[in-house]
Amino acid sequence: MRERLALAFVGLTLAILVPAGIVRGLWLAHQVRESELDALGEHATQVAVVFDRRFDAGLPVSSLQLQDLTDTDARLTVRHPNSPDLTATGDRFRAEATGRPLEVTRTVGETTVAAVKSDARVRASARDLLTSLLVILFVAVILAILLGLALARRLSEPFAALARSAAALGRGRFDIELPDSRIPEVVALGAALTTSAQNIEHELQRNREYAQLASHALRTPITALRLELDELLLDRTLDEETRLSLTRCLAGVMRLQDTIAELVETGRGRSLLGRTTITVRELADAVTRRWGGQPPDGCEVRTRVEAGGELAVTPGPFEQVLDSVLADVCAHGAGSVTVRLEAEESHLRLHVTGRPREDAPVERPDAAAAAAITRFLGGTWDGDALAGGLDILLPRH
């Protein structure tokens, strides 16, 4: 997106400057030609005045006198009714190389002067002007590219941030960060993402509550019925046919109980974001990239996969919990932090250990937030990362 915006800005600049430069160049070339014609006409008028006075005074005239008044790249012709035509040519005047020659005719009294001059100076001036215009155009394009890249980066950054937030939501994170922008489209997209995150979070909560309610509502009467059947089977006065019927009923109740347990467990394990999964090993690598190295506060995070490295997990919830836990440990701990990951059939266990600082506070908001998120996601929170170690158990999906 950034490159396309920059190209569009440069294209718009060229679309404005190129036609303007062409029109400006043609106008300047015309002005230069008109200026040269005016200068040549003024010179022809002065020559006509000089020779007309000599003719009126009856003084002799010659081509040598005219030669002294002729520019090196021009040709002058003097005509008078009482004298043959006089012509003088400059040393650098070439009739075949004049291009579009500058031609003027001036008459003073009975003397007429026709002046022809090469347009070499006009062409040279036009080339100089064209070179200047090209330099200006080149500088303008360079400035347009730099300005376009800067504006494109400024305009595209909010959308890139929205893309990152959408990707985080797709991974199962609900604490999405929205860009601070006044662009209406960005604000609208951010509001839509926030609403989507809230709706998905609410739906997950409803599913979890439904699973708990279904488990209680179905298992309680089934368990009571099973106990009642067990108690009836203990009666020694029952005949054999009744005992066989009760045994078959008890077997059916047990199968129903197992089916209900399987359905409830399937409902709990169902994820709205199940398709967005990575392996446990990839999750550990992602945590290392995000928190690894040596931050300015001296907190070094190390990860280790102890079991189930190839099992799939929904990364968002684990990233969200670990971000809060590691932010707390790095803010209030000293030395390195170890995160061990151990995947089981339906859960992933995280064990976080670190050393506390002497001035570590009792109330730590990041730790409290991580604990609340863990419980909301249906997991368990046991211990303290800065006091013996923290165990977090979360569903893999």
pLDDT-based confidence at residue 295 (cuts at 50, 70, 90): low
| Architecture in CATH of 2-121 | 2-Layer Sandwich (3.30)
Helix (H) or strand (E) holding 78: strand 74-80
pLDDT-based confidence at residue 97 (cuts at 50, 70, 90): low
Q: What is the pLDDT of residue 320?
A: 75
CATH class of 278-395: alpha beta
pLDDT-based confidence at residue 307 (cuts at 50, 70, 90): confident
Among 9-18, 24-33, 104-113, 248-257, which range has the highest average pLDDT?
A: 104-113
Q: Which residues, including other chains, have CB under 8 Å from residue 215's CB and lie 6 or more apart?
A: 260, 264
Distance CA 51, CA 37 (A): 21
Asked whether the beta carbons of 341 and 349 are under 8 A apart, the reply is yes
Four-point Cα dihedral 353, 357, 359, 360, nearest 10: -10
Least confident interval from 60-74, 101-115, 306-320, 355-369:
355-369
Helix (H) or strand (E) holding 107: strand 102-108
Q: Does 191 have pLDDT greater than 70? A: yes
Asked whether the beta carbons of 80 and 51 are under 8 A apart, the reply is yes
How far separated are the first and last CA of the chain, in Å rounded? 34
Q: At 102, list the tokens.
A: 């500058």
Q: What is the pLDDT of residue 269?
A: 52
pLDDT-based confidence at residue 95 (cuts at 50, 70, 90): low
Quick one: average pLDDT of 307-317?
Answer: 79
Q: What is the pLDDT of residue 268?
A: 54
Q: At 396, list the tokens.
A: 């893999």
Domains in the chain: boundaries: 2-121, 184-269, 278-395
Q: What is the pLDDT of residue 311?
A: 82
Distance CA 95, CA 363 (A): 99
pLDDT-based confidence at residue 133 (cuts at 50, 70, 90): confident
Q: Chain-wide mean pLDDT for the chain?
A: 78
Asked whether the beta carbons of 93 and 75 are under 8 A apart, the reply is yes
Q: What is the pLDDT of residue 287?
A: 80
Asked whether the beta carbons of 172 and 200 are under 8 A apart, the reply is no
Burial 319-349 (b: 16+ CB within 10 A, else e): bbbbbbbbbbbbbbbbeebebbbbbeeebbb
β-pairing, 312-313 with 111-117? unpaired
Among 56-60, 206-210, 218-222, which range has the highest average pLDDT?
A: 56-60
Judge if pTM exceeds 0.85: no
Closest listed residue to residue 278, CA positions, set 397, 370, 373: 397
Q: 2-121 and 278-395: same fold?
A: no
Q: What is the pLDDT of residue 199?
A: 77
pLDDT digits (tens, 9 = 90+) for 265-291: 665 555 544 456 778 888 888 888 777
Q: What is the pLDDT of residue 245?
A: 86
